[in-house]
Amino acid sequence: MKAIVLKQAGGVENFIIKDIEKPEIKENEVLISVKAISINPVDFKIRVLEDFLNSLNGAERPAIIGWDISGAIVAIGNNVTKFEIGDNVFGMINFPGSGKAYAEFVAAPEDQLAKIPKNISFNEAAATTLAALTALQTLKPRVKKGDRVLIHGGSGGVGHFAIQIAKSLGAYVISTSSAKNKSFILSLGADEHIDYNSRKFEEILTDVDFVLDMFNGDILLNSIKVTKKGGTIISLPTADFSDEILKLAKERNVDVSFTMVQSNGDDMNTLKNMLESEAIKPHISKTFAFEKMGDAHLHLEIGRTVGKVIVTMK
């Protein structure tokens, strides 16, 4: 099979398309013929730095990165009970860890997958994996009906799912983005849009129950100022908060923390049901061929992607 491998971390020129053996499956795993791959900011962060590459893929070289896939099951392990050969499935594989998704075939534990609804394409299914799981696992335990929720970067991969999921939970949703994405933000169900170039959210908002922060730094600091006493902020970029942020959060009795998404088949099935009922719909901004994975990374690195970037197999 063809796979995209890295012998060392660095630029996209380090990607090598190589013929390797198909992965062997364990008793609880299925072998998936991959149809589409979703890429995320974590993909290029892992690609660039050797320490990051080691942290999720170990010292094995060449390394195959990637986690988000959709495809068709072509073989099943002896203990697999949830799926059959021929089932179309999607999931985020072995995150955090080694998913080895940049390949024509991927071995995946059955308890990390869900069947693709009939109304959803392979591309849409692949898009509804890491970013959607991040939004779901962050919001579902913390947001209740009637909460005022602020979602920064609502036009991005996680953000556009977060708006839809927060609305499905009954929240009043406010989201920031540039002016050009206002219509998109509102089409997702947001109740308010704030153009971060023309208005300062910290001068407009008060009494927010929950904030989903994508940026840390000043945006996180200012988010604490608009969050009500006892409110919650989840910051996705890092758990490394400045002393100023920690001090202000303590003074205002705001819970600020970091969370990392985890592979979870039950949550994938929740997303499956939401896709089926059209409670959520992924937005795919651009697709690339498997051989153009480097171009897909460069496109995503610009940081202006609306929704998701997908890589397709022939």
DSSP string, 177-190: E-GGGHHHHHHTT-
Of 10, 29, 159, 28, the residue nearest 100 (C-alpha): 29
CA distance 255 to 274: 29
Of 111, 33, 29, the residue nearest 78 (C-alpha): 29
Q: Token pair 């089409």 is at which residue?
A: 187
Give the start-to-end residue ranges of the domains of the chain. Answer: 2-128+282-312, 132-258
CA distance 141 to 282: 22
Parts of the chain with a pLDDT under 70? 57
CA distance 80 to 258: 34
Under 8 Å between Cβ of 32 and 105? yes
The CATH code that applies to domain 132-258 is 3.40.50.720
- Residue 313, classed as helix, strand or coil, is coil
Burial of 77 (0-12, 13-18, 19+ CB in 10 A): middle
CA distance 65 to 99: 7
Question: CB neighbours (10 Å) of residue 285?
Answer: 17
What is the predicted pLDDT for the residue at 314?
78
Fold match between 2-128+282-312 and 132-258?
no
- Which CATH class, in words, describes the domain spanning 2-128+282-312? alpha beta
Q: Phi first, then psi: what are they for 105, rounded to 5°?
A: -135, 140
What is the predicted pLDDT for the residue at 33?
98
Give the amino acid at 64.
I
Report CA-CA distances (Å) from 284 to 51, 124, 213, 281: 30, 7, 22, 10
What is the predicted pLDDT for the residue at 51?
85
Report CA-CA distances (Å) from 102 to 61, 111, 173, 258: 14, 20, 35, 27
What is the predicted pLDDT for the residue at 134?
98
Q: Token pair 């205002």 is at which residue?
A: 252
